[in-house]
Structure 1
């Protein structure tokens, strides 16, 4: 227990130390009745960009982690990996047991999900304000400790899940392949936007 606590304190120290070195690169403030969402944008020494918007109207926080990688980074015949890895990122890590990410957040009173499009993959949690540290820790943990927890079984389960999702939302739905046909005709063959995020 003491080792876990000291590890957590060290992680918090590193986080606060890194954030104290963060560079403010943009600040947007509201002036008068202007329709604008005020925020501050920071860049950490490791390149991570943090955008902070404060709204104290409700005692909740929203954490959204966006990776600038989506299906447009894939190749013909090798599509669907960004979406597949979105699923894998919920399958546990060295510190979070299989399928526990959802349980931890929902038991803390929060909601969460992820999504993938052509240019980005994101993960988000909305939790009570006193659970911010937990949400940030979960995101940092899966950034750093996912790979060793990936197993062939998890891989096969999520591959079947994604195939089923494609069947339900596209292949077996009236007009479900409309967006695929439009993309194939809108963009030339081989263009990274010519295939669907869900993959084949």
Structure 2
């Protein structure tokens, strides 16, 4: 499947804010958004024109896509899934994106970024209810238990990342045991559990046209 392989810092600059796609680097003075706070490209530093209504909605959709690292076709499928569920479509959409296994691994502190978490899932480092799952887009459900595999716990990579993220607090919809490195999905994520600055109603407006 095709996936963006360019410089991810360009994505942050295009959206005009940090998307935290490079983990620790985003918190340092090397962050591209801090150093060059204008869009990439030949005319990026020119005076920006006022964005149209469509442009504002499009940027919000692109921002959400890039936060979670999903393709346009995936994002559209998630939107249709959200629209068919009971409740508010925009909140349903964010809840679905949060439920991806790669995002769960990131939220639990097993990776410094969602991109890194996606790679770790693909390499088979996690189990769900005791069975290996190597599909980053797997959507976890209430009652399921996500565990870092026994054979992965002694790897220097995981030891360093877990130590670095020791102060990170897991969202309340995940009951995480730091001693056993297991997390139980208590419920589906609610809007107040998602701390990303996304105006999901703009995405709904965009797809509703």
Shorter chain as denominator, the TM-score bin is: under 0.3
Normalized against structure 1, the TM-score is what? 0.24
Q: Which has the higher strand share?
A: 1
Structure ID, larger Rg: 1
Normalized against structure 2, the TM-score is what? 0.23
